[in-house]
Amino acid sequence: MASPAIFILEVSYYPVKPSISVSREDYLKAILEAASEGHTVISATLAHWLAVSPPAVSMALRRLRRDGYVEVKADGVVRLTPKGHEAAYRTALRHHLIERMLSEVFGMPWYEVHDEAERIEHAVSPAFEALLSRKLGVKGSCPHGNAVLPESPETRKRRGVRPLADAPAGAAYTVTSLYERDPGLLRFLHRTGIEPGGTVRVLQRNYDQTLGIETPAGRFTVGPAAAEKVQVRRAPADRRRRGR
């Protein structure tokens, strides 16, 4: 009598599986990255970050909780367990190393490496990860100027780094890092000549929150959605000229 019940449970479980195209590692990495950027991670944060539906997130979180990777308390905040943190960090580290391999070894442009790394990171064996670590080191920054884990706005501020959206006009800035999870944004920034390590001069700040900027590629108008995702610090030459 027990076997039909088990059978029903099995068929009702498997059909939902293929609807989640985002892997467990993707969820864990998104939770870790969002938290280290200073976000409070709730279900909606993940739906937004991973561009998946809220029901898909609920289902994934149930599974991650069942398998001991996350805790979700009554306040709805998603936290990684030590096991979840370890798995998330390893995925973030593999992503970082692969981006650097594609850029430093193969010369792939910085605005293309993120998507490629998203695909490859799940297939890397521990042995290959160790080889990459040895060759590239884990300290450096990726082609977008980011460390293995992103920084919070407070940490950036302490280093004199702020979003381009907040940069006063009439000064030149060095681009320190870019938000790398949006391929459309990266292509847009590339077209406007904004790139990691490059220089941007803010010519004017407009009433509609757009910025008039000048880069080696020319003069452009950039809206706040993009300008908030570019981190800059005052260009050294600019600081010298102003006697600071």
Binding site residues, Zn ion, CB under 5 A: 99, 142, 144, 146, 180
Residues near 240 by beta carbon (within 8 Å), at least 6 away in sequence: none
Indicate the residue among 4 and 107 with the shorter CB distance to Zn ion.
107
Residue 189 is encoded by which pair of tokens? 């920034």
Distance separating alpha carbons of residues 15 and 100, to the nearest angstrom: 38
Smallest gap, in angstroms, from Cβ of residue 140 to Zn ion?
Answer: 11
Smallest gap, in angstroms, from Cβ of residue 180 to Zn ion?
Answer: 4
Smallest gap, in angstroms, from Cβ of residue 66 to Zn ion?
Answer: 31
Indicate the residue among 50 and 61 with the shorter CB distance to Zn ion.
50
Indicate the residue among 146 and 199 with the shorter CB distance to Zn ion.
146
Indicate the residue among 101 and 202 with the shorter CB distance to Zn ion.
101
Residue 156 is encoded by which pair of tokens? 């950036």
Structural contact between residues 93 and 148, judged by C-beta atoms closer than 8 angstroms: yes
Smallest gap, in angstroms, from Cβ of residue 182 to Zn ion?
Answer: 12
Distance between start and end Cα atoms, the chain: 82
Indicate the residue among 121 and 180 with the shorter CB distance to Zn ion.
180
* Residue whose C-beta lies closest to Zn ion: 142
Q: How far is CA 206 from CA 20, 165, 175, 209, 222, in A?
A: 43, 11, 21, 5, 10
Q: How far is CA 63 from CA 13, 14, 80, 127, 168, in A?
A: 11, 13, 13, 28, 47
Smallest gap, in angstroms, from Cβ of residue 44 to Zn ion?
Answer: 24
Distance separating alpha carbons of residues 76 and 40, to the nearest angstrom: 10
* Strand partners of residue 177: 231
